[in-house]
A and B are shown apart, each in its own frame.
Chain A
Amino acid sequence: MELLQAFGIDYKILLAQLVNFAILFFVLYKVGYKPIFTFLEDRKRKIASGITMAEKAEAQLRAADAEKSAIIIDAKKEANTIITKAHELAEQGKEEKVKQAKDEIAAIIAKEREKIVAEKTQTLKEVKAEIADVIALALEKITGEKMDSEKDKAMIADMIRHK
């Protein structure tokens, strides 16, 4: 007992120290360790989810890039086919047009030719009729007699036939 007194050990002080430490322990546990642990856990989770999200986003970006280039290649191919088709169509159209034009021209030429031929025959007929009249007049003057029309016509016809 003397030893205990020499060290200043008193059960009241022991109790006080115990209570003191218990309070310290409890408060540090409630206020210190527990919230810090949950906080650290939370942040760890947040960071992990952020990293996975970033990875996902990167993968998506890469996929989108690949898709984009695929689309561009497709589009180029399609454009090429369209252009070649258009070229073909244009060529075809041109040929057709030329052909049509030629045909039209040929048709016009043929019509004109017909017209010319018809005019020519008409003119010839008219010229012939006129010549007959002129000749009849001339003959009248030469023969001095007025030929009746029947005689006259028969004579002219005869002359023309024997010319």
Chain B
Amino acid sequence: MELEISIAPDVLFYIGSFPMTNSLLWSLFISAFLISIAFLVRFSLKTIPGTLQNCAEILVEEGFSFVRSVIGTEEKAKKVFPLFATLFLFILAANVFTYVPGQSAVTLYNEGGAGTPLFRAALADYSMVLVLTLISVFVVQIVAVMMHGPFGYLGKFLNFQSPLKFFLGLMNIVGELAKVLSLSFRLFGNIFAGEVLGAVILFLVPFIAPLPFMFLGVMTAIVQAFVFSTLTLVFITLASEIEADELVEQASM
């Protein structure tokens, strides 16, 4: 037995020229799971809620009140909440499902005899994380443009009023780009590192020793889901607010 660690996900098979990776399969499975839960809740809504409905209600209600407390107004919260909740649920489910016992042992052998694990943590695939991050950052940009107008938003980055302001504008560009990297690598790094650490410990001491790391991993799974969705929420909140000096500018125009 040897320890295999790859940053890139493994390709299971090709559909036409489309490479089906194990993490993509996993993320499809998680999406299907969440969708089926949603349908289950949707068609069993009762005035007196059952356990499942209670959980869903708590999640939706508490999540919404959290979003509102961060973003300020009910109206904005209603628009942002679906993205926030979906990001949170998807990341949480993807992370927690990694701890289903046995799933990492399922291996697919191809003709060459080389085995590829059928499942891989969806967020231990950088492309998945990158997609989530791009969605998040893209939404932030759209919100900012909607709030400030296209030229007002551009003016934040290209400001020729003074050398200092020009420099700060360039810094803003760097900041926006850094958002993509920091958001994506935080999530990817945590999950991937957790996976690798788990695999290494499991390789070295198969019994008992991996347990504390698994506990930590479960905690990370929940915390990272919360962190990613909350950071997105905070970025959107910041983008949706008009600063005071800008208000003065707009009034003087």
Contact = CB atoms under 8 A, between A and B. Distances in A.
A13 B42 CA distance: 31
B19 A40 contact: no
Contacts of A28: 34-35, 38, 82, 85-86, 89
A97 B9 CA distance: 123
B127 A9 contact: yes
Interface in B51-81: 56-57, 60-61, 64, 81
A24 B31 contact: yes
B85 A33 contact: yes
B132 A32 contact: no
A47 B201 CA distance: 54
Contacts of A10: 19, 127
A161 B125 CA distance: 171
Interface on chain B toward A: helix, strand, loop, or mixed SS? Answer: helix
A12 B56 contact: no
B131 A7 contact: no
Contacts of B21: 8, 13
B165 to A, nearest CB: 34
Interface residues of A, number: 30
Contact of B38 (A18, A32, A40): A32
B130 interface: yes
Nearest to A7: B126
B28 A20 contact: yes
Contacts of A7: 7-8, 126-127
Contacts of B9: 8
Contacts of A32: 38, 41-42, 56, 60, 85
Interface of A: 5-10, 12-14, 16-18, 20-21, 23-25, 27-29, 31-33, 35-37, 39-40, 43, 46
Interface of B: 6-9, 17-19, 21, 24, 27-28, 31, 34-35, 38-39, 41-42, 45, 47, 56-57, 60-61, 64, 81-83, 85-86, 89-90, 125-128, 130-132, 135
11 contacts: A7-B127, A13-B24, A13-B127, A21-B31, A21-B135, A33-B82, A33-B85, A37-B60, A37-B64, A40-B57, A46-B47
